[in-house]
Amino acid sequence: MIFAHKIALDVTQAQEAYCRQAAGTARFVYNWALSEWQRQYDAGEKPTTPKLKKQWNAIKYERHSWLHDIHRDAHAQPFAQLQAAFQKFFRHEAGYPRFKKKGVHDSFYIANDKVQVQGKRLRIPKRGWVRMREALRFTGTLMSAVVSRTADRWYVSLCVQLDPLPTPGENQAGRVGVDLGIRHLAPLSTPREHIDGPKPLKAALRKLRRLTRELARRVKFSANWHKPKRKLARLHARIAAIRTDALHQLTTRLTQASQAIVIEDLHVKGRVRNRTLARAISDRGLGQFRRMLTYKANGSGTTIIVADR
């Protein structure tokens, strides 16, 4: 089983400039491949990502000499991402792939043969060692790394293939039921026990509205427009981080303490259509809770039982 550990990076000014260049390269290649796909399809051809990658490799260094300064994975992986996007589109799991925009989900890929981690250090090709805020907590085979930007901070997501999965220990209880809600995040089946998680969006709603109004009053793309935009991005990142941290602690506690967990098959997408409860449901992160609980249960040997609606 493959687990990912996302760690914040302490980058210098030169390292941040390289990360921006590598993320811009990945975005540029992805948009080129998507544009070429559409052009060939409109011309009556049958484009495929292997063909597009072969065309790109034949012209990339001739037309764009600056690619020599960026490691190869940054401008090779976008073709695999485009192929995955079209596969989801053909399976009716997602819409038609869109062009990427600067500053939105900036990231680049590093293959396993180039990833090196030593304690609290990560080696990025053609840039050198970068400090991490914490050490990698998983032990296993390092598969890949994705460096991404959230607000004004850079992170690395390290994918690790774990050793054989453990079996439930003797210290784990038998079975526990979890009923997710709005008033209490997770009322448990044990007598009089319920877990109250934070409501980060509700707590920051007043500041969020103020920054949104401030941003709307500025001239777009001006220097004074970028200031509240950065503050707003940091606030959204903080809200998501508080919610994710609470869900991580809860799901880890449940999977480590129980041999079997019973949860309800909630239709979260349908519930958020209720205008009265949509914000409160989204603030709880019910869908994210089930996703975390499922993969952590697989990693700890815990059984997940989904009760019918």
Which residues, listed in sequence order, are joined to residue 158 by a DSSP beta bridge? 5, 145
**How much is the pLDDT for 166?**
56
Average the pLDDT over 156-185 and give the result. Answer: 78
pLDDT, position 190: 80
- pLDDT band per the 50, 70, 90 thresholds, residue 173: low
Residue 192 has pLDDT above 90, yes or no: no
Q: Tell me, what's the pLDDT at 106?
A: 95
CA 264 → CA 76, 226, 260, distances in Å?
A: 42, 44, 13
Round the average pLDDT of the chain to a whole number and report it. 92
Helix then strand then coil, in percent of the chain rounded to 5, is 45, 25, 30
Name 308's Cβ contacts closer than 8 Å, sequence gap at least 6.
265
DSSP 294-309: HHHHHHHT-EEEEE--
Domain check: are 300 and 156 in the same one?
no
Q: Is the pLDDT of residue 239 over 70?
A: yes
Q: How confident is the model at residue 57 (pLDDT cuts 50, 70, 90)?
A: very high
Q: Are residues 25 and 114 in the same domain?
A: yes
Residue 267's pLDDT band (cuts 50, 70, 90): confident
| Same domain? 130 vs 202 | no
Kindly give the pairing relationship between strand 121-124 and strand 128-132. Answer: antiparallel
Asked whether residue 194 carries a pLDDT value surpassing 90, the answer given is: no
Q: Do 204 and 139 share a structural domain?
A: no
The whole-number average pLDDT for the span 42-68 is 95
Q: Are strands 173-178 and 107-111 parallel, antiparallel or unpaired?
A: unpaired
Residues 222 and 105 in one domain: no
CA atoms within 13 A on the CB side of 127: 27
Would you say residue 107 has pLDDT above 60?
A: yes
Task: Flag the least confident range among 205-219, 241-255, 287-301.
Answer: 287-301
Query: Is a pLDDT exceeding 60 seen at residue 101?
Result: yes
Between 230 and 174, the higher pLDDT residue: 230
Please give the pLDDT value at position 300. 82
Mean pLDDT over 159-182 rounds to 74
Q: For position 167, what pLDDT does the model report?
A: 57
End residue of a domain, out of 162, 183, 213: 162
pTM summary value: 0.88
Same domain, 111 and 59: yes
Query: In terms of domains, do 131 and 248 share one?
Result: no
Could you tell me the residue range of the domain that residue 202 belongs to?
Answer: 173-307
**So what's the pLDDT on residue 170?**
53
283, 302: one domain: yes
Q: How confident is the model at residue 175 (pLDDT cuts 50, 70, 90)?
A: confident
Dump pLDDT digits (tens) for 274-306.
888 899 989 999 989 999 999 899 888 889 999
